[in-house]
Structure 1
């Protein structure tokens, strides 16, 4: 197995392992197993995520901003890795043979406010806001003052006019680029920061190196999660109750396969 070691002063040596598509399949299988073993925890964190998305959609409709519902719904999964910290902790405890209880899991989640993981929230939210503002910019450039006041009318404008289809095409490409950047920076760094708490820059660089050295398995993993998250949005965010925890557990197991620390 090919390996690459990243050194960061007195911090542990993070060794990047070579991954295959079999590791991706095994990680999803382990993620599903963890969800089935601790479904109440998974549904709890998944509900926070799903209700958050539903609340945002309701507020946008209340303030007569229905045209924002689609970009927010598409971009909302970008914050998933940060919400999944509690899921990572459950898999970590299960793998380490440590007891799992609400007090222990929630205490660890709240403890992240004092650790490097809290800085990653700014990274995630920054990219999320870039996504929202580029949507508004594209709408202003391509649709001008034709933005309708209802969701149905907006959908018709986007799907059945040349300007709308151009907006949809460019927005999809830009969104895919932003999602890939965020995935590359967080897929390994989030669980790594929970597990070892290096500085967040080192964690992001380690995550990026892992993706660059294992592009096919890592991007396949991200693509599967992206498709699952999109499909989970269709039943009024309800699918996120299962998709988020399974993806979180799977991410933890992929991280443990990708990163090792030499004795």
Structure 2
């Protein structure tokens, strides 16, 4: 069945309110717990459709790694696998829309969700995709730079040789330490600007700059809660990559649905949300 409630569907083109951001709520650990329960409930409500997005993401990851092997870019495999979750927030747009409709009690089908996702190219979500992919590119580039500086452009005949160099030589340990610190900074920056911005752009009339500022404000005003959520995402995603990316079939949709509900708890309702000029 598809929904006949057209007024709740995000329009193709919105007139964003420039330079205004909403107030943010004070959050507690119970918000994460309640959001996880709601996210899991959304997954169980539509397990096949939810898993489709996780499967698509997993297959893309497998093909991405296979292409690196085929191109002989052995050194890129580990940073690509570690950095791959950075683009997950954008990949979860369909999951946000599913949770939005489930929350409103609407019926929907594949065409409804895929149609909303396709229409995001006409909205501000495209700019957020650019920000996400840019930070991912910076991550890959800085790994290449560290490889040249620390490992002196060492030649790796195969993946085992790369692992041996990285994990069993002093230069490799330095490479891992510096790369991990740099990656943590980039991941924290991307998390801060996207965790609330992605679902907010789907749900509200705003521009991507205001959405990013709102997301940063939520993180800075609720640092412990949001960093805890970031840790949950990081550990879950990395563990999901171990079985050949297949764990993402289940974990990505649950995390995506949960993020929607966490966003709902982070900001007051749209019609009651006081706004103030952003500086």
Deviation at 1:149, TM superposition (A): 2.1
Q: Quick one: distance in 1 between partners of 2:189 and 2:243? A: 27
Question: Quick check: 1:173 aligned with 2:181?
Answer: yes
Matching of residue 115 in structure 1 with residue 123 in structure 2:
yes
* Cα RMSD (Å): 1.4
TM-score by length of structure 1 reads 0.94
CA deviations on 1:138-176 (whole Å, 9 max, x unpaired) are 000000132312111101110000000000011111111
Mapping for residues 142-161 of structure 1, pairs under 5 Å: 142-161=150-169
1:42 maps onto 2:43 in alignment: no
For the residues of structure 2 that align with 1:69 and 1:218, how far apart are their CA atoms?
Answer: 29
The Cα shift of 1:16 comes to: 0.6
Q: Which residue of 1 aligns with 2:171?
A: 163
Equivalent residue for 2:6?
Answer: none
Give distance in 1, aligned partners of 2:70 and 2:129. 27
Aligned to 1:204: 212
Distance 1:252 1:36 in 2: 15
Aligned to 1:47, the other structure's residue is in SS state: helix
Distance 2:246 2:118 in 1: 25
Distance in 2 (alpha carbons) for counterparts of 1:111 and 1:101: 16
Paired position in structure 1 for 2:223:
215
Matches within 5 A, 1:1-263: 14-260=22-268, 261-263=270-272
Unmatched segments (≥5 aa) in structure 2: 1-15, 273-279
2:11 corresponds in structure 1 to none
Q: How many Å separate the matches in 2 of 1:10 and 1:76?
A: 31
Q: Is the 8 A contact 1:67 1:149 kept in 2?
A: no
Tell me, in whole angstroms, the C-alpha distance in 2 between the residues paired with 1:69 and 1:201: 32
- 1:11 shift after superposition: 8.6
In structure 1, stretches of 5+ residues that fail to align are 1-7
Change (3 A) 1:71 1:41: same
Q: Is the CA contact (8 Å cut-off) linking 1:89 and 1:105 kept in structure 2?
A: yes
